[in-house]
Structure 1
Amino acid sequence: MKMIRLLITGFIFLLVLCGCARISEEFARGKTENNLSQSSELTSNSSSSRTVTSNNKATTETSLENILESTTETEEIPSNKKKVALTFDDGPDPSNTPKLLELLKKEKVPATFFLVGQNVEMYPEVVKAIAKDGQTIGSHTYDHQDLSTLDESGMTNEITKTDQSIKKLTGKNPAYFRPPYGSVNAKAAELINRPIIQWSVDSEDWKSKDAQMIIDKVTSSVYDGSIILLHDIHPETIAAVPEIIRDLKKEDYQFVSLDTLLNNPSSNETYYGENDHRPAGG
């Protein structure tokens, strides 16, 4: 009888041991699976993080491309707007030109500056400021001589010296040329070899040197597609510019660059306005 009890007790003890072993095995298996699951989640999260970072980088690059592209887009002109281009001769001037640049920047108005070579060399920082503001720079000869009175050597000197001075400061040759006094013959036009820009509205600021007279002259003569001639060496002109801009905007004019007004011209012709260009030197 005692022997039977011992056998039963031993059998129960074995069952308990087996049960503990199975529980331990299940616990170990569960822990392993849990670790694997956590590891998988970490890997997945890491992959997702890399994907998000990559996507963010791609988005940033795309945005930058869009910004860069948008800065080079052609000016869009609403159908109800008339176009006009401002041009300024004889600068740069160390006092007046910086003031004019601030006015143009404030009003978001483009303009073209036809620079005299000797002034370019005297006031290089002003030239750099014009270029930095995104305004167009053209050539107005080296020392404002009437090209039609010079021989070929003299013409070449007036043209090339100014080109070199401007390129040294801006990295570009001026795309446009305006002859002093509007005077150009066939030989000069051949040597200039680029679009020659004349004008269709003369402010006569050089003659009146009176702000109100300048305003009246421009606003009474302007028309759709015209090129306005002004001089940034006169303080009276700078004083007149804000009113000219305000008055013409009220009349539904939009100020545009020469590139836009003339549709990026490249031929060696003479341009007086949007729809007025003629053979150069004729």
Structure 2
Amino acid sequence: MKRSSAWRSAALAGAVVLQAAIAVPAVSAAGTPSCTGYVALTFDDGPTSGNTTTLLSTLAAAGVRATMFNVGQNVQANPDLVRAEVAAGMWLGNHSWDHPHLTQLSAADQASQISRTQDAVKQVTGLTPNLFRPPYLETDDALRTVERQFGLTEINADVDSRDWNNTTVDQIVTNARQLQAGGVILMHDWPPNTLQAIPTIVTELRARGLCAGRISPTTGRAVAPDGTTPPSSTPATPPGGCAATYRTAGTWNGGFQGEVTVANPGTTTLNGWTVTLTLPAGTTIGSLWNGVNTGTTGAVSVAGASYNATLAPGQSTTFGFVASGSAAGITAACPGGPTAPPPTGPTPPADVLAQVNTVGRLTDQDGTVKYTWPGVYFEGRFHGTSVGIVLDDANNDYEVQIDGAAPTALLTPGRTTAWIDGLSDADHAVRVAKRTESPWAAGQFGGFVAGPGGRLLTRPAARTRQIEFIGDSWTAGYGDMSTSHDCAATGGINRNSNANQTFGALTARSLDADYQINAWSGMGMVRNYNGGNAGTDFRTYYDRALQAVDGSTWQRPASWRPQTVVVGLGINDFSTPLNAGERWADAAALAADYRAAYLAFIDKLRAQYGPDTYLVLTYPYLSNTGDLADSITQIVQRKNSQGDARVRAFYYDNTALGLDLLGCDWHPSRQDHQKIATALTGFLNTLQ
């Protein structure tokens, strides 16, 4: 990043990082640190003559490695410095070719900025980056779409050193004290005060048990140089061969995710284990998986599940949990050695879908249920005091709900069985819904599992009413849980997005309807945001079960015949001006193409669902143009004049509804979605 009046402390996006098999610089006289967590030191804008060599020497003297987010033209101009970075043990990152404002460029120019830098790094080092940090920390839907074309993952930086603003050495050090385990700090290649601050920053981090590591391309968090993360408590090995270690896997405002590794260091099989997890005052576990817990505060007892309670010598397993409050001072220990035999319980049936109600677009092959569209949900029933949710998904967040109570968040669970327990011994309903978008990464659902002494019940009946929601980021719930336009400091876009709380989901639930949310941020009817991904649009992917998988056609069951389809496509078509080289001569040509494509899409929906389905075309206020509103009006009038009276328009009046648009990047907030849902529900109730 360069200093600029246009710089804003906005979405701190990820860095394109590569992992090279290189020697680690020797740790200085302070000795080998005891690491209870890792942080990522990052430096933008290099390599530069007169600066990079000194920076590398300073880092080597401190005994740390860092991630260098290099500018492509600097890589080309200073290949020896890039090779010196690799030789010194640094990781390299892509920071664009010449540091432009990428969000102001066309998709083709954005791709060129990224690809030229990728090629330059590979030519000089033989390595290809895999995470990306945009210049000036400016990002949006369209840029993220381009990043994904190169397999890049966007991450967040947790701390800005502000060294770009002539910040003093003391202030840089003070800013760095905000770093917590897993966090990323933004610094630069060129400020002299940064060089002076590095030794103190490293010393203070080590005093807190934090070591410098790399950025994981999977989680976007700092991990050890070898890709692992350390425990944050000392392993205890009581008699009987049980040892437990705790680590904080991730943190966010007001909560965190913890993980406990249970190992058998003994010489005989461990038939059952129990771990005492000691939590600080004010910390409460919301959900726990891969174990059965008794209690949620204070001293929490966690026993092994039916599938992981038996450990052979040298074997280990893990359980995890999400909690509110502080992660400071948490300990885990095995009290007294072997415990009771592992609990017994049924495993998920081979036919996973036989036990649930779901109408989402998915694939089901040999019992493996996969899905990518946001808002996909699974509903089941069980009797007992606990239920497990079998998932394999390290990319998405979920919401879990028992008996219609307030939902609990389940964040990037990975391959696990997430347990909800402490329930009354009775019949219960369970619902799990996918919060986030993941066109390129399918989640997997393996069914529900009843806890000890419990059993699964017949699945809930499908609802009579069905609604399909089609759209873009407004429909998908992009950043709807944020309370600020800049959501970088609170976990980024994914952590702040929740399709289960969008106007579509809220409207459907208020009408007791089953529903689909078929939405993709940045996509339009004929033109994507800012002209990105020319040659594709929402219609390219609408018929797919898995969005980004060519040939993955959704096989619509005869049971899916929605009475209402709510379409919200057009914001991305018209919200940005045409760029040079786009296929439309002017805005009028774009509007004409939009109307023609929309009319054909309506015909497609009519053929698919029949003449009785209401097709509701929605649109919000756009300050830059009236083309969207005019086009929707003309489309509805034309269809009505042709005898199709069940094509209707519904306008989201920002002012009348009182929308604050406080979601990420000026998207509707959770409160906005509730207001839209209330208005839309009232409108749908008038359709008879």
Normalised by the size of structure 2, how large is the TM-score? 0.28
How far apart, in 1, do the equivalents of 2:185 and 2:132 lie? 15
Kindly indicate whether residue 185 of structure 2 is the aligned counterpart of residue 256 of structure 1: no
Q: Deviations over 1:248-279 (max 9, x none)?
A: 1112211111138255999989x979x94644
Cα distance change of structure 1 residues 247 and 165 upon mapping to structure 2, 3 Å threshold: same
Please tell me whether the aligned partners of residues 47 and 78 of structure 2 are also in contact (alpha carbons under 8 angstroms): yes
**3-state SS of 2:100 partner:** coil
Q: Is the 8 A contact 2:181 2:222 kept in 1?
A: no
- Match status 1:176 vs 2:131: yes
Task: Report matched runs for 1:1-282 at 5 Å.
Answer: 81-193=36-148, 194-219=152-177, 221-259=178-216, 261=222, 276=491, 278-279=493-494
CA distance, structure 2, for counterparts of residue 137 and residue 155 of structure 1:
20
Letter in 2 for 1:204: R
Deviations 1:21-65 (A, max 9, x none): xxxxxxxxxxxxxxxxxxxxxxxxxxxxxxxxxxxxxxxxxxxxx
TM-score (norm 1): 0.64
Deviation of the 1:80 alpha carbon: 6.4
Give the 3 Å change call, closer, same or farther, for CA 144–201 of structure 1 in structure 2: same
Moved more, 156-165 or 183-192: 183-192
Question: What per-residue deviation string (whole Å, max 9, x for no partner) do you get for residues 59-110 of structure 1?
Answer: xxxxxxxxxx9969xxxx9996132110111111212211221222233312
Shift of 1:126: 0.6
The residue type paired with residue 226 of structure 1 is G
Q: 1:217 to 1:115 in 2, by over 3 A?
A: same
Letter in 2 for 1:132: A
Identity over aligned pairs, percent = 32
Given residue 106 of structure 1, which amino acid in structure 2 is its aligned partner? A
| Residues in 1 aligned to 2:182 and 2:222: alpha-carbon distance in whole angstroms | 7
- In structure 2, the partner of 1:11 is none
* Residues 168, 186 of structure 1: alpha-carbon distance in 2 compared, 3 angstrom cutoff: same
Q: Give the conservation status (yes or no) of the 8 Å contact 1:143–1:158.
A: yes
Q: Distance in 2 between matches of 1:140 and 1:190?
A: 16
Task: Determine the C-alpha separation between the residues in 1 that align with 2:92 and 2:213.
Answer: 14
Unmatched tracts of structure 2, length 5 or more: 1-20, 25-31, 229-393, 396-437, 442-486, 495-520, 523-663, 665-688
Q: CA deviation at 1:143?
A: 0.9
Aligned partner letter, 1:121: Q
Q: Tell me if structure 2 keeps the 8 A contact 1:208–1:214.
A: no
Structure 1 distance, partners of 2:33, 2:57, is 26
Q: Tell me if the contact between 1:204 and 1:214 (Cα under 8 Å) persists in the aligned partners.
A: yes
Max radius of gyration: which structure? 1
Q: Distance between the aligned counterparts of 2:72 and 2:206, measured in 1?
A: 33
- CA 1:79–1:122 in 2, change beyond 3 Å: closer, same or farther? closer
8 Å Cα contact 1:201/1:218 also seen in 2: yes
Structure (1 or 2) with the greater strand fraction: 2
**8 A Cα contact 2:159 2:176, kept in partner:** yes
Mapped to 2, the partners of 1:153 and 1:82 lie a distance apart of 40
Measure, in 1, the Cα distance between the counterparts of 2:109 and 2:120: 17
Q: What is the DSSP-based 3-state SS (H/G/I as helix, E as strand, rest coil) of the residue aligned with 2:211?
A: strand
Runs of 4+ in 1 over 6 A off after TM superposition: 69-72, 77-80, 264-269
Q: Deviations over 1:107-154 (max 9, x none)?
A: 331211100111111211111101122311010001111211111121
The corresponding residue for 1:47 is: none
Instruction: Give the root-mean-square deviation of aligned CA atoms.
Output: 3.3
What letter is aligned with 1:115? N
SS in 2 for 1:142: coil
Question: How many Å separate the matches in 1 of 2:66 and 2:50?
Answer: 18
